[in-house]
Structure 1
């Protein structure tokens, strides 16, 4: 079996390289798939009942995390086409879950915020996910959680890592 080296994260020397077989890597990929299926199953049930999909959930999530997020900022975070975002946003706006305001500094900007109904839906969608992640973190322990976070961050492309750091930095400042 072929071995694959995982790049060391900053601060780790070459002696800490981890070598895994392709079969072990495949097992990790399969674990991601099954974990993602479980992670999305609870919100999917709610979304199905209101004729929304995961794109609506992602939009609600990031608008909730960054009130006043611009449409272009949301487009950048989600990494989707303008056309698909417009379809999702139109539904959320029409259904009274999101409101769009004109920017104070730049009147061309559209600032997005959740309405009370949007806050409620986002909370219901995310509660089960937070409970699932919290239980998994407790079961795994602090070292495994730190290791998992390191793996996730190492998998991000540069743009995603930058956005993640910006979101986490904004959260720490609050």
Structure 2
């Protein structure tokens, strides 16, 4: 049986291949965020609010410092967004049990419902693309995304047994 060759030599990517990858990322991000943006608009929120809600939902009890480390934004930017989410009852802050200066963040029931709604829309889109692409492509996509993020954040996705 003859071996099927890939139309792209992965060891030598032309400028057009790289530019197409960049373009695809722009279009994918636009479509990935479109429905969430519509939902956020109903609350007067933007993408910064979405990121805060998402990561606090994934990491209940995280500190403000940990959230700043993930988002890579200034304290001032986070303070504005976080303050609004706390005032409107989406996030609750409580002092740390060992260090009372720490502020531990968690979603309220209202926040968890919004996070679920936003994530549900995006999960459906990702699941559809994954099913269409197949398992091998999913793993390849994961490797590409890991290659795009910085080394510190990449460690978040490395199984603990490999660290």
**TM-score (normalizing by structure 2):** 0.89
Quick one: structure 1 residues 145 and 79, their matched pair in 2 at CA, closer, same or farther if it must change by over 3 Å? same
CA distance in 1, matches of 2:145, 2:109: 32
Q: Runs of 5+ in structure 1 lacking a partner?
A: 1-15, 170-174
**For 1:42 and 1:98, how far apart are their aligned partners in 2?**
22
Tell me the SS of whatever aligns to 2:45. Answer: coil
CA distance in 2, matches of 1:17, 1:139: 22
Q: Are positions 1:61 and 2:62 aligned together? A: no
User: What is the TM-score of this pair, normalised by structure 1?
Assistant: 0.84
Q: Deviations over 1:114-139 (max 9, x none)?
A: 00000001111111100000000000
- Map 1:137-148; keep pairs closer than 5 Å: 137-148=130-141
- Give runs of ≥4 in structure 1 deviating > 2 Å: 162-165
- Aligned counterpart in structure 1 of residue 151 of structure 2, from 151, 158, 163: 158
Residue 113 of structure 2 corresponds to which residue in structure 1?
120
Higher strand share: 1
The number of residues matched between the two structures is 152
Greater Cα offset, 65-74 or 154-163: 154-163
Q: 2:39 aligns with which of 37, 41, 46?
A: 46
Structure 2: runs of 5 or more not aligned: 1-8
Q: Deviations over 1:1-37 (max 9, x none)?
A: xxxxxxxxxxxxxxx9621100110001000000000
Conservation of the 8 A alpha-carbon contact between 1:77 and 1:163: no
Per-residue deviation at 1:149? 0.3
Distance 2:11 2:87 in 1: 50
Distance 2:150 2:23 in 1: 21
CA distance in 2: counterparts of 1:129 and 1:160, whole angstroms:
21
- In the TM superposition, residue 164 of structure 1 has moved relative to its aligned partner by 4.0
Question: How many angstroms apart in 2 are the aligned matches of 1:163 and 1:110?
Answer: 22
Partners of 1:41 and 1:90 lie apart in 2 by 25
Mapped pair 1:108 → 2:101: yes
